[in-house]
Amino acid sequence: MENIFDNANNRKFLITGASGFLGKEIVKKVLSEGTQVIAFDMRKAKEYENHVDRFEFLEVNLTGDYEFPEGITDVIHAAGKVSDWGSYDSFYQINVVATEKLMKMAKEKGVKNFLFISSIDIHGFFGHVNETENGTYYPSKCFYPRTKIIAENMVRDFNSDEMKTVCIRPCTVYGPGDTTVQGPMMDAIMKGQMGYIAGGKKLISRIYIEDLVQGLCKALERGTGGEAYNIVSGEMITWKEWVEEISKGLGVKAPGLSAPYPIAYAVASIMEFFYKLVKSKTPPLLTKMRIQHAGHDFYFLPEKASKELGFQPKTDWKTGVKLMTEAYLRDRKE
């Protein structure tokens, strides 16, 4: 990937959520440009077990007490709760309260640039085609997008001459090593448990992991303070095309089952009711958020990021799926 940061050797980055799928790629990219990195997370990824120059890992719970490191020039805040299950307070504490605390501490310590990873999901799930950052917003009852939009607005309003704050709105990220979203989907496809909503004809938005990292680094470096940028590939893909390509990569038959949206939503509602009744910590197979997502078009464009940041995705989705499924099959053999 191209070098993005000016004066990289004299900069020191704090990266939160550093042991996650995205966090690990951010750390790798930022280190590759010659910066120093301090990584925050609640657990230490195996990739960080060996000594790495200019890198330090600290086990930190952002919802608890911790000290902000000295000498930080840039913050990339990737930590957060990304899920469709859990209490509102569990989302609010990490996505909003912890973000506000980190941001205020960063400004007090003289940080120059603060990037917050929001989500395209803040637009809600009831139909989007060819939309930009100014597209339709549907109020959501789902806790993840509700807390993300609160946090995003807070971060954008906090922008100042002393500390630039920028937000990005990524769509669903994918790539080798993804165990968060596409990993469980591949598990379901392998087990024959995957199906479609409304024939899988609805549009989706995707972004390959390396392209997302490129986009967020450019937003930090070149973005306008107080602004938000869609970091999406802009490729027009349907759910059916996506799942069929993954199935092809896995060497299994693509799903053939499909359910009408109203029926699927009703089943998800019943499942959620009983799972909440027993206070289950794990989500049911179907949730209302998943059905809303799959049952409506969800297609966004990266026009603003392209014009203002020079963002240009490098990996087409079929190549990305091939790389992802190959890595998945290798991991299953090990």
Per-residue pLDDT of 186-196, as tens digits, reads: 999 999 989 99
Within-domain flag for 305: no
Three-class DSSP category at 165? strand
Tell me how crowded residue 240 is: count the other CB atoms within 10 A of its CB: 18
- Mean pLDDT of the 216-234 span: 97
Fill in the amino acid letter for 89.
D
How many distinct structural domains can be found in the chain?
1
- Mean pLDDT of the 242-261 span: 94
Flag the least confident range among 9-23, 60-74, 152-166, 280-294. Answer: 280-294
Contacts of 198 (CB under 8 A, 6+ apart): 258, 259, 260, 261, 295
Within-domain flag for 57: yes
C-alpha 1 chain-centroid distance = 20
Residue 285, pLDDT score: 82
Distances (CA, A) of 144 to 11, 82, 137, 141, 234: 32, 7, 15, 9, 23
- Residue pLDDT, tens place only, 211-223: 999 999 999 999 9
Residue 111, pLDDT score: 98
Task: Output the domain CATH number for residue 67.
Answer: 3.40.50.720
Q: Is 85 exposed, middle or buried (0-12, 13-18, 19+ CB in 10 A)?
A: buried
pLDDT band at 71 (very low <50, low <70, confident <90, very high): very high
* Range of the structural domain that residue 55 is part of: 10-178+206-232
- Residue pLDDT, tens place only, 7-17: 999 999 999 99
Q: Minimal CA–CA distance to 95: which of 82, 108, 111?
A: 82
For residue 39, is pLDDT > 70? yes
Within-domain flag for 93: yes
Mean pLDDT over each residue of the chain, to the nearest integer: 94
For residue 236, is pLDDT > 90? yes
Within-domain flag for 63: yes
Instruction: State the Cα–Cα distance between residues 135 and 250, nearest whole angstrom.
Output: 35
Within-domain flag for 270: no
- Residue pLDDT, tens place only, 288-330: 888 988 899 999 999 999 999 999 999 999 999 999 999 999 9
Within-domain flag for 295: no
**By the 8 A CB rule, do 208 and 172 touch?**
no
Within-domain flag for 280: no
For the chain, the maximum distance between any two Cα atoms, rounded to a whole number of angstroms, is: 57
For residue 1, is pLDDT > 70? no
- Mean pLDDT of the 62-76 span: 96
Residue 217, pLDDT score: 97
Instruction: State the Cα–Cα distance between residues 60 and 40, nearest whole angstrom.
Output: 6
